[in-house]
Chain A
């Protein structure tokens, strides 16, 4: 990891708090586990270069920030622009962002604000020409004006608070069309059937790669650890789309080989965990990492930094612009299991199905202190899981490292209880 002299004269990024935070985490991810897949090197290096050394990620055309998975990326790509997801996981920025929000607010929103406020943030925020802010939870919605006050251009992408009705669907389809108009103004380009189709082909390939990885994690004993999976999907936030996809395809190929060789990434008895709730975002992979350091293995997740972001795919009937755009709109609304919507039966069903498909032994539910929607859904999720006899650990936490000790005790106890259950069941 060589730094050239011209970079050395710039402010010593690699000694910033953010860089150290990232480095500590990457060290744990890499060094605490034997037998990391070779193909993971790409991702480890990527994070080290970008987060620890502040190397910029090259992008094509206009850089457009998004603050949530509801912003249709294909549209952004179709206009020759590049999306970057701004949801931030750094404790350092969480503290900076605390100035903007009330005391008990979501660390994710605070960190995002903090990173936008900061001078040399990662991922790069200086070159943002537009931020697409879907009106999801109250905190994100209200963040919009604050971001604007920092001098950014913001597009409020209006998202309906319910997704079941046909009215909501049509409202959202119109909202997505409005975004297309805004992007046209911004980039001066036109949306055509061909550029949209190419953009959709690129994300579809990425989603396919993700799905393959996802399916590989069904295998028992586990082939692959959750900490790496989260790192892979977190790279999607800022990495070049095609390069990311190629790297995941290489990883999949390696895991398929491992599968044939009967490789085990975790002990045979390792409790298989389904992760749900507030999204683990680099470098806040605290909870999944603690689970796996304690001998569990995260085999699947239902979070918007991984599965919810990449799993669902767009169907098109007629490859004409109107049907493609509406299809995209549907893809970003209908299957979404985000708790900001009125009802959550889709989330419940998704969790039950994941638990069944991935032979899950227990669920870990992360709720960021201050993220009301996840806190509010805790009960209903706990109830449906309990009805199926699936144990769940509810963890309220934030970005500060202070609760690590206490958390690891709770996680160990949870994993232990699962093991006991399994032993008794046999």
Chain B
């Protein structure tokens, strides 16, 4: 038992994550070809516009559609349908918590690949300043609010119908993910009405920003992601948890250094054991880079599944010291 645990805690997290992310990427982006269908309430950007390959559908798409129904329908029988969709979404999320972001989300994975490309090219990363960080992390809540309010406005006939699914219009997933199955049709500006023109042009812009941003900043887009905002509202009861034992923490800051989401609390907070912050993507890099036995751990339904250990830390760092070819 102890052997197994040591092996898990000593895992080469980078490789493990790479493989798992690849697996889920294939499942969600190409799964459709193998008749995989995980439903339409997935708490991750399995883009619904990827008609041919999708192995399930990103919940934001049906959510926006549903909310845009006329109020009469929405607050009537269809309300139940909305509720049901949300319930499935919550259930999926309940199992893995933000692990969906660190291990499954195709957009997250693409950003990590871009990061890999950057490090291979020997280009350094950029970081936000602390002030920028605090302000930026509010944007996702704003996007979430708009994403709910605009369709509601349409349903109430307060806004024009061609705003349809406003977030999808500007979501980089819509343009990028279908490309992986050879579908470049989303990569256009829709000139049918003025609104669609503005929105799709904005979408182009966001996609460009997504690609460029992710090149310089690790997980650039995740800081603004409304899905992540929606996640955080539900994350308290989820089964997968990130825990910290502050007494064992030396506040060395190693975990904070490696955190793609620049979450300072992961290093500095020593009183609260439930350490997950709203931007966290549960990549568990912090756990892998903590040299203190048991200071950080991921638990599933209360059972520790991955824990920081001295041995694991040393093993991973030694690999870095001696890895000749890859800067990653």
* A→B interface (CB under 8 Å): 164, 166, 169, 193, 197-198, 200-201, 204, 208, 211, 215, 312-323, 326-327, 330-331, 334-335, 346, 349-350, 352-353, 356
Contact = CB atoms under 8 A, between A and B. Distances in A.
A285 B91 CA distance: 62
Q: Name the prevailing secondary structure of the A interface residues.
A: helix
B252 A352 contact: no
Given A197-B320, A321-B124, 10 more contacts: A312-B291, A316-B317, A317-B258, A317-B289, A323-B124, A331-B254, A334-B251, A334-B253, A353-B248, A356-B247
21 contacts: A197-B321, A201-B321, A201-B322, A312-B252, A313-B254, A314-B254, A314-B317, A315-B257, A315-B291, A316-B258, A319-B119, A319-B326, A320-B119, A320-B122, A326-B257, A330-B257, A334-B251, A334-B267, A335-B250, A349-B270, A352-B247
A360 B249 CA distance: 19
Interface in B272-328: 285, 289, 291, 310, 313-314, 317-318, 320-323, 326-328
A326 B246 CA distance: 24
B268 interface: yes
B247 A319 contact: no
A315 B268 contact: no
Contacts, number: 96
Contact of B252 (A316, A319, A331): A331
Chain B interface main SS type: helix
Contacts of B264: 166
B246 to A, nearest CB: 8
A310 to B, nearest CB: 13
Contact of B250 (A198, A323, A346): A346
A201 B318 contact: yes
A313 B317 contact: yes
Interface residues of B, number: 37
A352 B321 CA distance: 33
Contacts of A356: 247
Most buried by B among A200, A315, A320, A353: A315
Interface of B: 119, 122, 124-125, 129-130, 246-255, 257-258, 264, 267-268, 270, 285, 289, 291, 310, 313-314, 317-318, 320-323, 326-328
A313 B293 CA distance: 13
Nearest to B314: A208
B244 to A, nearest CB: 13
Contacts of A326: 257
B252 A335 contact: yes
Contacts of B251: 334-335, 346
B131 to A, nearest CB: 9
A351 to B, nearest CB: 11
A320 B124 contact: yes
Contacts of B322: 201
Given A313-B314, A353-B248, A319 B254 contact: no
B124 A316 contact: no
Contacts of B248: 353
A106 B50 CA distance: 71
